Amino acid sequence: MHDIELNEDQRMIRDMARQFAQSELAPRAAEWDKSGWIDDAVVRQMGELGLLGMVVPEEWGGSYVDYVAYALAVEEIAAGCSATGAMMSIHNSVGCGPVLKFGTPEQQQAWLPDLAAGRVIGCFALTEPQAGSEAHNLRTRAVLDNGEWVINGAKQFVSNASGRSWPSSLR
């Protein structure tokens, strides 16, 4: 196995994430685990630092450098608070990723700038009561009804899908 030689951008991002995680996350991680909620102000700060737009290119307000930089940042954030690391990785990967890859230009314009800035937090609703590993068993369907899409189905275990709505300061 060979060590990867990091470039200057990757080292800077890793060090910034490490410093932020150790000073802002680690001291409060146990408190957030108990309350089940990561402080809104900290999530906002992560948006300002570019940590929530790491797979989104600059043209959409993101901070994309490359996937090594992104992985290094997630690793450092998770070392400070594993719940925050999970929130960050789900938001960036399966939250922003599909909009970036499969969204129409209108959907990208509507969602990516807010996602990249952390004003909205992304999630991914795959699992259903009867289908987890067996994704081919999904029953949820989107049906066009008089020009409107109706989505029928039940989802569970959706990380980042809060039981309460996000405060207006994050919208």
DSSP 140-170: -EEEEETTEEEEE------TT--SSPPPGGG
- For the segment 95-124, give every residue that binds ligand FAD (CB under 6 A): 123-124
Q: Tell the smallest beta-carbon distance from residue 10 to ligand FAD (Å).
A: 27
Interacting span for ligand FAD (CB under 6 A) from 42-50, 54-62, 104-112, 155-163: 155-163
The answer to whether residue 168 forms part of the interface with ligand FAD (CB under 6 A) is no
**By CB under 6 A, residue 159 contacts ligand FAD:** yes
- For ligand FAD, which is the closer residue by CB, 3 or 134? 134
Q: What is the DSSP string of 39-56?
A: -HHHHHHHHHTTTT-TTS
Q: Choose which of 83, 126, 138, 170 interacts with ligand FAD (CB under 6 A).
A: 126
Q: Is 132 in the site for ligand FAD (CB under 6 A)?
A: yes
- N-to-C CA span, the chain: 44
Q: Is 170 in the site for ligand FAD (CB under 6 A)?
A: no
Among 26, 158, 162, 169, binds ligand FAD (CB under 6 A): 158
125 is a contact residue toward ligand FAD (CB under 6 A): yes
Q: Does 83 bind ligand FAD (CB under 6 A)?
A: no
Give yes or no for a contact between 108 and 100, defined as CB atoms under 8 angstroms apart: yes
Q: Are 34 and 100 in contact (CB under 8 A)?
A: no
Pick the piece of the chain touching ligand FAD (CB under 6 A) from 1-9, 15-23, 48-56, 129-137: 129-137
**Token pair for 67:** 């996937």
Q: What CA–CA distance (Å, rounded) separates 24 from 47? A: 14
SS3 150: strand
The span from the CA of 27 to the CA of 124, in Å, is 29
Query: Which residues sit at the interface with ligand FAD, rule CB under 6 A?
Result: 90, 123-127, 132-134, 157-159
